[in-house]
Amino acid sequence: MALADDLLEQAKFLSIREVGRGRPRQASLRRAVSTAYYAVFHLLGVEAASQASPIRPRGLQDRIQRALTHETMRQAANAFRSTSLPDYVASFVHQPIPSEIVDIAKNFVLLQEARHKADYDLAEQFDRTTVQGLVNNAEQVFRLWDRVRNTDDARVFLASLMFWKLWSK
């Protein structure tokens, strides 16, 4: 099983941990949110790296994946979620952008924002409903990605996640 799938499974486990034992611990809920985001991050990261790099030499794809940054991926996803792509990207994708890609982008942005709160904002209190919702968002990304991963639009999306800042050159 791939790392992304394992992370999703762990996020789900943490989101429903401590059921029937009073209020769930904030640590479990926060880790669930963070893990749900990283499940999606690695799902898309592996796909972006495999698109950008040959399989050999061994380890090269892993190294390429390290080039992905949360910030760049967020910027690209934000543009897809608001369907406001610059011309040099828009010319490569179908219009309107397939709803699956837009929904993946929306969920990515939402999960990254939630992950930031879960990892750093101690003033934020999470409840199980919020967290189950976010894990469900991550699951939806996996399902949607399965549907579109072999399309040209998905390839442009992956390239955007990796090269967003460089594409405007």
Partner 1 sequence: MRVAATHGLSPITRMYYTSHMARTATNRPIQLQPGPRIAAQGHYGPLEIVQVDLATRGTTFRATSPEGPIGPETFLPFSMISPLSKEDNHLFWQMLTQKLIEELRDEGKLPKFYKTFSITTGEDSTGDPAIYVKLFVDAPKGAARDSTVARWNEFARLVQDRLLQLRLPRQPYVFLGAA
**Is 64 or 80 the residue whose CB approaches partner 1 more closely?**
80
Contact 51, 68 (CB under 8 A): no
Contact 161, 68 (CB under 8 A): yes
Any contact of residue 6 with partner 1 (CB under 8 A)? no
Q: How far is the CB of 131 from partner 1 (least distance, A)?
A: 9
Dmax (CA) for the chain in angstroms is 55
Q: How far is the CB of 20 from partner 1 (least distance, A)?
A: 6
Those residues whose C-beta lies under 8 Å from the C-beta of residue 77, and which sit 6 or more positions away, are: 104, 105, 106, 108, 109, 112, 161
**Is 140 or 151 the residue whose CB approaches partner 1 more closely?**
140
Any contact of residue 43 with partner 1 (CB under 8 A)? no
Any contact of residue 159 with partner 1 (CB under 8 A)? no
Contact 155, 51 (CB under 8 A): yes
The pair of structure tokens assigned to 63 is 């190294």
Q: How far is the CB of 116 from partner 1 (least distance, A)?
A: 4
Q: How far is the CB of 160 from partner 1 (least distance, A)?
A: 17
SS percent in the chain: helix, strand, coil, step 5: 70, 0, 30
User: 56-115: which residues touch partner 1 (CB under 8 A)?
Assistant: 71, 74, 78, 81-82, 103, 106, 109-110, 112-114
**Is 64 or 73 the residue whose CB approaches partner 1 more closely?**
73
Which residue of 50, 53, 140, 151 would you call a contact of partner 1, by CB under 8 A? 140
